[in-house]
Chains A and B, each alone.
Chain A
Amino acid sequence: MCTFAPNLKQGIFKRYGMILNTFKNVLFSALFIAISFAGYAIEDIENKDDKEFNPKEMILHHVKDAHGFHLWDWNGHAVSLPLPIILWTDNGLTTFMSSAFHHDDSGHTIVEKNGGKFVKIHEKIYQLDANASTVAFDEEHHPTNASKPLNFSITRNVFMMWVSVIVLLLIFFATARSYKKSEDNVPTGIAGFIEPLVIFVRDEIGKPMIGEHKYKRYMPYLLTIFFFIWINNIFGLIPILNGANLSGNIAFTCTLAVFTFIITTFSGNKNYWKHIFWMPGVPVPMKIFLMPIEIIGMFVKPISLMIRLFANITAGHVIILALMSLIFVFKSVAIAPVSVAFSLFITVIEIIVTAIQAYIFTILSALYFGMATEEEHH
């Protein structure tokens, strides 16, 4: 344990120096950022208005991304935390706060800003056509006289992601400081909590999956996704934040899976590509038969990473909310103790699931890196 800390510190400084100096890495960073923005832009939903309590609508509303935190209702008024809306329209950059919509989510409140008229329908911002004064809907409740401008808003998920980044930075800077201060590299304070986790990722995930000689290159990435997924899973379980369901967002998990895919593809050695395109040790007809299967397998791996994290976390949220909405479906107080007890039970399971899913994502990424860098053995 004691010998590990200085290695880690030196390694980090050296590695960051390399990253900043290499053009290739800058290119990859730009690529990753571009992918993350594209991921957030591609989302689609539909919903229906209903005066009755509709558990499906409530659950979808909580699971999905939103412009602003709706904290609670007080005397019929919503107490909420507005978030900035940033749009790129024909007239250029347009910004306003989400409180301008006054919690209207059905397109009645029209915000006029920068020569454009904007409405919010089911957490999507639409820009009305120039001559329209109200929104018209077609049979499937899609607006007919409005279009979606490019939306770079700081939504609930983006906000929570930044919060988690700040929390992680605070934790790890405190850890680094504690090693810098101590003479004999004994972890103190929060470092005492982080060091076993880092050692766990190194000894249980990195070394056995990638191999003794090559694991060091991949440790920064593995540690990053492990802690990032874990902390975002935990943030998703905090009820007052309205379940900012970041790791249950398919765009978020897709971005992480694409990172793993790119790193796997670019660290693939000759042996890896040979196993994909011309499987050694089998007859030629079998080689031809296996090639398309292996190529599909290359893409299925990140897709299953993406779906696994998304569906696990979303399913957990849906179960908790469905148990809670049983009270309102049966309209009875008698059902409340059962409902609360069960959702407490599921919440406790979900706390375990937060860690397990972070572990699974990290270990499978490590497994794919290990497969890509495996040497030919005779």
Chain B
Amino acid sequence: MTITGIAAIGAGLAAIGAGVGIGKIGGSAMEAMARQPEMHGKIQSSALILAAFVEAVALFGVVVAFLQG
């Protein structure tokens, strides 16, 4: 297997991890908003920030794939 193939697998794994992470954040945020609609704004902004943190890890994978691809 070439290094490009390995990089592609790595990028895919990073995407899976980020997908699970963002899914959990989104799910919990929706649940929290349904329980406490008055906290809607605060929950939404913290969910976006947390999603950005999770996404950053996936994007490290994308960057590695760019460098190798």
Residue contact A315 to B49, C-beta cutoff 8 Å: no
Tell me if B48 counts as interface (CB < 8 A to partner A): yes
Does B62 make an interface contact (CB < 8 A)? yes
Establish whether residues A311 and B63, one from each chain, have CB atoms under 8 Å apart when the complex forms: yes
Known: A56-B69, A314-B66. Is A307-B59 also a contact (CB below 8 A)?
yes
Looking at the complex, which one of B41, B48, B62 makes contact with A360 (CB distance below 8 Å)?
Answer: B48
Contact A311 B62 (CB under 8 A): yes
Q: Mark B45-69, 1 if CB is under 8 A from A, else 0.
A: 1001100110110011011001001
Q: Min CB distance, A204 to chain B, in Å?
A: 7
Q: Which residue of B lies closest to A361 (CB)?
A: B52
Residue with the greatest number of chain A CB neighbours at <10 A, chosen from B59, B63, B69:
B59
Report Cα–Cα, A208/B41, bound state, in Å: 12
Residues of A within 8 A of B53 (CB): 304
- Residues A315 and B52 in contact in the complex (CB < 8 Å), given A56-B69, A363-B45: no
Chain A interface size range: 10 to 19
List CB contacts (< 8 Å) of A128-149 with chain B: none
CB proximity to A under 8 Å, residues B12-51? 41, 45, 48-49
Of the candidates B41, B59, B69, the one whose C-beta lies within 8 Å of that of A308 is B59
CB distance from A232 to the nearest CB of B (A): 18
> For the complex, what is the distance from the CA of A206 to the CA of B59, rounded to whole Å?
26
Interface set, chain A 297-351, CB cutoff 8 A to B:
304, 307-308, 310-312, 314-315
> Which partner residue on chain B sits nearest A304 by CB separation?
B56
Smallest CB-CB separation from A204: which chain B residue? Answer: B45
- Which residues of chain A are within 8 angstroms of B45 by Cβ–Cβ distance? 204, 208, 363
A359 touches B59 (CB 8 A): no
By a CB distance below 8 angstroms, the chain B residues around A356 are 48
> How many Å from the CB of B62 to the closest CB on chain A?
5
Residues from chain A with a CB closer than 8 A to the CB of B56 are 304, 307-308
Q: What is the CB-to-nearest-CB distance from B68 to chain A, in angstroms, rounded to a whole number?
A: 12
Instruction: Decide: A364 and B62 in contact? CB cutoff 8 A.
Output: no
Whether the Cβ atoms of A308 and B62 lie closer than 8 Å is: no
Contacts of A364 in B (CB 8 A): 49, 52
B49 touching A308, Cβ below 8 Å: no
**Shortest CB–CB separation between residue A246 and chain B, in angstroms?**
17
Interface flag for A87 (CB, 8 Å): no
Task: Tell me, yes or no, whether A367 is within 8 Å of chain B by CB.
Answer: yes
Which residues on A sit within 8 Å (CB–CB) of B66? 311, 314
Asked if B62 and A315 make an inter-chain contact with CB atoms under 8 angstroms apart, the answer reads yes
Chain B residue with minimal CB distance to A63? B66
> Once the chains bind, are B69 and A360 in contact (CB under 8 Å)?
no
Q: List 29 A-B contacts (CB under 8 A).
A: A56-B69, A204-B45, A208-B45, A304-B53, A307-B59, A307-B60, A307-B63, A308-B55, A308-B56, A308-B59, A310-B63, A311-B59, A311-B60, A311-B62, A311-B63, A312-B55, A314-B66, A315-B59, A315-B62, A356-B48, A359-B48, A360-B48, A360-B49, A360-B52, A363-B48, A363-B49, A364-B49, A364-B52, A367-B49
Write the residues of chain A forming the contact surface with B, with a CB cutoff of 8 angstroms: 56, 204, 208, 304, 307-308, 310-312, 314-315, 356, 359-360, 363-364, 367
Beyond the given A204-B45, A311-B66, could you list 12 further A-B residue pairs with CB under 8 A, ordered by the A residue number? Answer: A56-B69, A208-B45, A307-B59, A308-B55, A308-B59, A310-B63, A311-B59, A311-B63, A312-B59, A359-B48, A363-B48, A364-B52
